């Protein structure tokens, strides 16, 4: 019985088999594994430039929400300190952007956070992240399309004046309000995405440019009006912080979600000409542009009108109207419509690529990984997702599900930060080999005897240790793979390295535990103050101690050769990723019980899909793991034998 046969039988223990499935990890260059398995992985077209990336990032981030959000947050939480709230939120978003920038350089493939989590943490966590992102993109796209209808209606003089085939209608007896306009918009964007990534990125650039010019109009003309009126919005007896520092921080937590969207850039990594240079630059520039525009708009609006006088529904339009510029509503509405269009494209663009990445790994049917030879985009999955999203937008008002959109992004941000810690301290040191390659190694042509099978049985995960594999190859084949008998002091060095990796892994886990306890205790209000203080103290102590240990530990030297080299490196590790985990976990905990109940149902469905399909169809189902140091030589040896 070979290694593959042994694994297919569940290693004699179904419980262990399931745990090994959840924690198994794929390698960075997954295309090479597919090629050795006898199939050729279809690749997306590498045609995106840094300008395209910036346009996609800005367009996906700046939605129409900012045209409303400034009024609501300023009135209820921040007052004139709204600008400071946007700045703090931008800094918090930058923490995640730094983590994304490193991983997107090392692992420039479709799948974004799902892909990085699969490589660094494991298949189970990657599936949950990908499943949550699917929910985010689906509901987010449908909600955006529904929001476009009333904004477009303003150009027709109101919703009553819309053409009948675009206007909303109620279905008698069912209480369902259908929205043909929303469905048509999604289908149009879907068609555009099917034409090609270059064409869709050009359209994204056009609508994003119009949106940015609309915001510049608000900043320049609004600033001029504010100077004429001597910034009356800031002349308040309550000062700059009428709701105190706590109100300003609460406002930061709300406006933080205005920065969600730059992660869409990571989903296009496989289609970028020079990912090591352009992706970090695109993420950084896009986030900076969004933060600056948000801050300048907030400075102008709260300066034009006192914060308590802002209209919560149309704060910007009403602010201009109060100064006799009613006509400005058309320019502002144009900006809002183009912002929604750009956000809609930003929601529909990454989802087919997420399906494609999961299908490549065997977790979804291979149908979703098909790429059109003519347009070099996943047309089939794009069409299916577009039709489903259009149907959802047509029949359902998904506004009550909007809170679920944030879960996917925050889970992705958290998993990416944890992946950076794993990459720096305990990067994967084993590579999965396809069963066909293992059969080739076991074949008589390589003169392997039955001892190789004994080695496999000694390792229930089907992984060969450095010593076993190198010794076996040397003794039975005479193949030199650069591994000689180690002196005693070098063997001691290996033991020390294993000890360091174990300590690092435990402390990364303890960081996550400490963050969760601290964030949960700080957020829950209906518990005794003594218990809350105790839990905060315990969680903070666990977090602080683990962080100190990680800071004192040496980072793994293998990180330099992990994945693709030459790109951006996240600074201030472990402090920056841990801060990112803390911020995102706190926001996750504060999403509310109702949101988490609905999300839990979706995640449970995803767990069942993985249990009954993904786990058994995974491309790593029968994979055999070998040390990274020997993988290249094994690939070369197999290539020579096949040549």
Q: Please, what's the b/e burial string for 365-388 (b: 16 or more CB within 10 A of its CB; e: otherwise)?
A: eeebbebeeebbbbbbbbbbbbee
Instruction: Pick 508 or 20 by higher pLDDT.
Output: 508
- How would you write 574-595 as a 3-class SS string? CHHHHHHHHHHHHHHHCCCHHH
Q: Give the closest residue to 48 by CA, choosing from 282, 272, 353.
A: 272
For residue 249, give the DSSP letter: H
Query: What is the C-alpha to C-alpha distance for residues 329 and 34, in angstroms, rounded to an integer?
Result: 55
Q: Are 618 and 432 in contact (CB under 8 A)?
A: no
Confidence tier at 527 by pLDDT (50, 70, 90): confident
Alpha-carbon Rg for the chain in angstroms = 27
Exposure string (b/e) for 93-127, b if CB count within 10 Å is 16 or more? bbbbbbbbbbbbbbbbbbbbbbbbbbbbbbbbbbb
Residue 7 predicted with pLDDT over 50: no
Is the confidence at residue 168, as pLDDT, over 80? Answer: yes
Q: Tell me the angle at which helices 50-61 and 197-228 cross, rounded to the nearest 10 degrees.
A: 60
Q: Which positions ≥6 away from 223 have C-beta within 8 Å?
A: 299, 300
Confidence of residue 503 (pLDDT cuts 50, 70, 90): very high
354, pLDDT greater than 50: yes
Write down the pLDDT at residue 312: 81
Instruction: Calculate the average pLDDT of the chain.
Output: 84
Please answer whether residues 356 and 193 qualify as being in contact, where contact means their C-beta atoms are separated by less than 8 angstroms: no
Any idea what the CATH number is for the domain that residue 195 is in? Answer: 1.20.1740.10
How many domains is the chain partitioned into structurally?
A: 1
> Tokens in use for 276?
């090591």
Angle at 328 between CA 326 and CA 333, to 5 degrees: 115
Q: Which of 141-155, 214-228, 355-369 has the lowest mean pLDDT?
A: 141-155
Q: How far apart are CA 20 and CA 461, in angstroms?
A: 7
Distance CA 84, CA 248 (A): 7
Picking from 117-126, 434-443, 582-591, which range would have the lowest pLDDT averaged per residue? 434-443
Q: Which residues contact 304 (CB under 8 A, 6 or more apart)?
A: 222, 225, 226, 229, 232, 233, 319, 320, 322, 323
Q: Which letter, b or e, does each residue of 539-563 get, where b requires 16 or more Cβ atoms within 10 Å of its Cβ?
A: bbebbeebbebbeebebbebbeebb
What does the pLDDT look like over 13-65, one tens digit per residue?
444 466 778 889 998 865 454 444 445 567 888 999 999 999 999 999 998 77
Residue 137 CA to residue 119 CA, distance in Å, equals 22
Among 27-41, 106-120, 516-530, the range scoring the smallest mean pLDDT is: 27-41
- Whether the pLDDT of residue 448 is over 50: the answer is no
Q: In the prediction, which pLDDT does 473 show?
A: 40
Helices and strands per DSSP (H, E), number in the chain: 27, 4
The pLDDT value recorded for residue 466 is: 44
Least confident of 386-400, 412-426, 571-585: 386-400
Q: What is the pLDDT of residue 40?
A: 56
Residue 312 lies in a domain: yes
What share of the chain has pLDDT > 90, as a percent?
Answer: 53
What is the percent of the chain with per-residue pLDDT over 70, rounded to a whole number?
Answer: 83
Exposed/middle/buried for 270, CB within 10 Å: 0-12, 13-18, 19+? buried
Output the pLDDT for position 4. Answer: 35
Helices 628-642 and 466-476, axial angle in degrees (round to 10) = 30
Which tokens is 33 given?
Answer: 């594994």
Given a cut of 80, whether residue 531 has pLDDT beyond it is yes
**Contact in structure between 625 and 464 (CB atoms under 8 Å):** yes
> Average pLDDT, stretch 417-429?
95
Express each pLDDT in 180-234 by its tens digit. 999 999 999 999 999 999 999 999 999 999 999 999 999 999 999 999 988 998 9
Q: How many Cβ atoms are within 10 Å of 408's Cβ, its own excluded?
A: 27
Alpha-carbon distances, residue 374 vs 191, 192, 434 (angstroms) = 15, 14, 30
DSSP 132-188: HHHHHHHHHHHHHHHHHHHHHHGGGTSGGGS-TTTS-EEETTTTEEE-HHHHHHHHH
Does 500 have pLDDT greater than 50?
yes
Angle at 406 between CA 118 and CA 209, to 5 degrees: 100
Cα separation values, 150 from 171, 403, 570, Å? 19, 21, 42
Does residue 439 surpass a pLDDT of 60? no
Least confident of 100-104, 242-246, 510-514: 242-246
Q: What's the pLDDT score for residue 634?
A: 67
User: Residue 471: pLDDT band by 50, 70, 90 thresholds?
Assistant: very low
> Shortest CA distance to 120 belongs to which of 414, 348, 374?
414
Structure-token pair, residue 255: 């406006």
Residue-range definition of the domain harbouring residue 373: 44-398
348, 385 contact by CB (below 8 A) = yes
pLDDT above 50: residue 447: no
Does the global pTM surpass 0.85? yes
CA–CA dist 370, 380 (Å, integer): 7
Assess if residue 596 is contained within a domain. Answer: no
Residue with tokens 């046969």: 5
- Confidence category of residue 1, pLDDT binned at 50, 70, 90: very low
Question: Considering only CA atoms, which of 397, 299, 419, 369 is closest in space to residue 25?
Answer: 419
In this prediction, residue 542 carries a pLDDT of: 97
Give the C-alpha separation, 198 to 225, whole Å: 40
Is residue 141 assigned to a domain? Answer: yes
Element (H, E) at 633: helix 628-642
Look up tokens 């958290």; give the residue.
Answer: 414
CB atoms within 10 A of CB 524: 13
| Cβ atoms within 10 Å, residue 147 | 23
Report the distance separating Cα 66 and Cα 315, nearest Å.
Answer: 10
Quote the pLDDT of residue 582.
96
More confident residue, 491 or 340: 340
The residue-averaged pLDDT of 494-514 equals 94
Residue at 612 is within a domain: no
**Is residue 266 one of the residues assigned to a domain?**
yes
Task: Identify whether the C-beta of residue 55 lies closer than 8 Å to the C-beta of residue 278.
Answer: no
Instruction: Give the per-residue pLDDT at 16.
Output: 44
Identify the weakest region by mean pLDDT among 264-268, 345-349, 401-405: 401-405
pLDDT tens digits, one per residue of 602-619 = 999 999 999 999 999 998
Confidence of residue 402 (pLDDT cuts 50, 70, 90): low
Helix (H) or strand (E) holding 627: strand 624-627
Helix, strand, or coil (residue 320): helix
Q: Is the per-residue pLDDT at 575 higher than 90?
A: yes
């Amino acid at each position: 019985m070979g290694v593959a046969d042994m694994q297919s039988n569940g290693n004699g223990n179904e419980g262990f088999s399931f745990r090994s499935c959840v924690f198994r990890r794929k390698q960075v260059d997954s295309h090479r594994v597919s090629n050795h398995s006898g199939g050729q992985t279809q690749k997306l077209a590498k045609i995106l430039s840094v300008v395209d990336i910036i346009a996609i990032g800005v367009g996906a981030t700046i939605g129409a929400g900012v045209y409303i959000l400034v009024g609501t947050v300023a009135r209820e939480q921040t007052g004139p300190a709204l600008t400071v709230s946007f700045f703090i939120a931008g800094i918090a978003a930058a923490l995640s952007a730094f983590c994304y920038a490193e991983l997107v350089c090392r692992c420039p493939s479709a799948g974004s956070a799902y892909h990085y989590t699969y490589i660094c943490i494991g298949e189970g966590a990657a599936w949950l992240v990908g499943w949550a992102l699917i929910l985010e993109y689906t509901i987010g796209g449908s909600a955006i399309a529904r929001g476009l209808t009333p904004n477009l209606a303003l150009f027709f003089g109101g919703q009553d004046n819309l053409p009948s085939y675009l206007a909303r209608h109620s279905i008698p007896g069912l209480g369902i309000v259908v929205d043909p306009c929303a469905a048509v918009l999604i289908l149009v964007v879907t068609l555009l995405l099917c034409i090609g990534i270059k064409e869709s990125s050009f359209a994204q650039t056009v609508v994003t440019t119009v949106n940015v010019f609309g915001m510049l109009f608000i900043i320049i003309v609004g600033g001029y009006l504010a100077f004429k009126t001597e910034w009356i919005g800031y002349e308040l007896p309550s000062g700059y912080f009428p709701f105190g520092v706590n109100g300003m921080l609460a406002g930061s937590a709300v406006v933080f979600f205005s920065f969600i969207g730059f992660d869409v850039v990571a989903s296009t990594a496989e289609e970028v000409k020079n990912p090591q240079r352009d992706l970090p630059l695109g993420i950084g520039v896009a986030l900076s542009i969004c933060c600056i525009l948000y801050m300048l708009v907030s400075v102008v609006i709260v300066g034009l009108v006192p914060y308590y006088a802002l209209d919560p529904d149309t704060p910007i339009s009403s602010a201009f109207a109060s100064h006799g510029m009613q006509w400005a509503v058309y320019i502002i509405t144009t900006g809002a419509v183009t912002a929604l269009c750009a956000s809609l494209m930003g929601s529909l663009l990454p989802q087919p690529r997420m399906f494609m990445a999961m299908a490549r790994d065997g977790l979804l049917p291979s149908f979703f990984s098909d790429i059109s030879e003519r347009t070099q985009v996943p047309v089939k999955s794009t069409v299916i997702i577009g039709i489903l999203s259009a149907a959802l937008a047509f029949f359902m008002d998904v506004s009550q599900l909007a809170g679920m959109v944030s879960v996917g992004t925050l889970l992705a941000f958290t998993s990416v930060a944890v992946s950076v810690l794993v990459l720096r301290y305990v990067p994967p040191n084993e590579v999965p080999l396809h069963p066909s390659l293992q059969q080739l190694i076991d074949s008589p042509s390589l003169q392997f005897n039955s001892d190789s099978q004994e080695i496999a049985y000694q390792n229930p995960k089907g992984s060969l240790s450095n010593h076993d594999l190198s010794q076996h190859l040397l003794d039975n084949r005479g193949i030199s793979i650069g591994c000689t008998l180690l002196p005693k002091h070098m063997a001691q060095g290996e033991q020390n390295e294993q000890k360091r990796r174990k300590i690092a892994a435990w402390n990364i886990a303890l960081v996550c535990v400490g963050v969760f306890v601290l964030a949960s205790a700080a957020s829950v209000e209906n518990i005794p103050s003594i218990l809350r203080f105790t839990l905060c103290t315990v969680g903070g102590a666990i977090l602080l101690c683990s962080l100190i240990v990680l800071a004192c530990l040496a980072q793994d030297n293998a990180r330099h050769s992990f994945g693709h080299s030459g790109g951006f490196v996240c600074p201030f590790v472990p402090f920056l990723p841990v801060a990112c985990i803390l911020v995102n976990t706190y926001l996750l905990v504060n999403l509310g019980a109702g949101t988490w109940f609905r999300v839990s149902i979706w995640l449970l469905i995803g767990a069942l899909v993985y249990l009954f399909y993904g786990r058994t169809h995974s491309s790593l189902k029968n994979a055999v793991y070998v040390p990274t140091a020997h993988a290249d030589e094994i690939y070369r040896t197999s290539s020579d034998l096949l040549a």
